[in-house]
Chain A
Amino acid sequence: NAGVTQTPKFRILKIGQSMTLQCTQDMNHNYMYWYRQDPGMGLKLIYYSVGAGITDKGEVPNGYNVSRSTTEDFPLRLELAAPSQTSVYFCASSYGTTGNPYTFGSGTRLTVV
Chain B
Amino acid sequence: SQELEQSPQSLIVQEGKNLTINCTSSKTLYGLYWYKQKYGEGLIFLMMLQKGGEEKSHEKITAKLDEKKQQSSLHITASQPSHAGIYLCGRLSGGGADGLTFGKGTHLIIQP
Residue numbers of A with Cβ under 8 A of B are: 31, 33, 35, 40-43, 45, 48, 50, 56, 58, 90, 92, 97-99, 101-107, 109
Contacts and interface: CB of A to CB of B under 8 A. Distances in A.
A50 B31 contact: no
Contacts, number: 64
A42 B100 contact: no
Given A43-B88, A92-B99, A98 B33 contact: no
Contacts of B100: 43, 45, 102
Contact of A50 (B33, B40, B97): B97
User: Contact residue range for chain B?
Assistant: 20 to 34
Given A42-B102, A42-B104, A97 B42 contact: no
Contact of B99 (A40, A45, A99, A105): A45
Given A41-B104, A43-B88, A98-B92, A107 B41 contact: yes
